[in-house]
Structure 1
Amino acid sequence: MRHALILILVALITISIILVIYRPDLLEDIWLWLVGLIGPIIGFTKAIVKSISNFFKSMDHA
Structure 2
Amino acid sequence: MAKSNSNSGARTAMTPSAAARIQGATARSTGGIVAKGSFAARAQSVAARNGAGKSGNGK
For the criterion TM > 0.5, the same-fold answer is: no
Give the number of the structure whose residues are more often helix, by fraction.
1
Q: TM-score, normalization: structure 1?
A: 0.29
Q: TM-score, normalization: structure 2?
A: 0.30
Looking at CA atoms only, which structure, 1 or 2, has the larger radius of gyration? Answer: 1
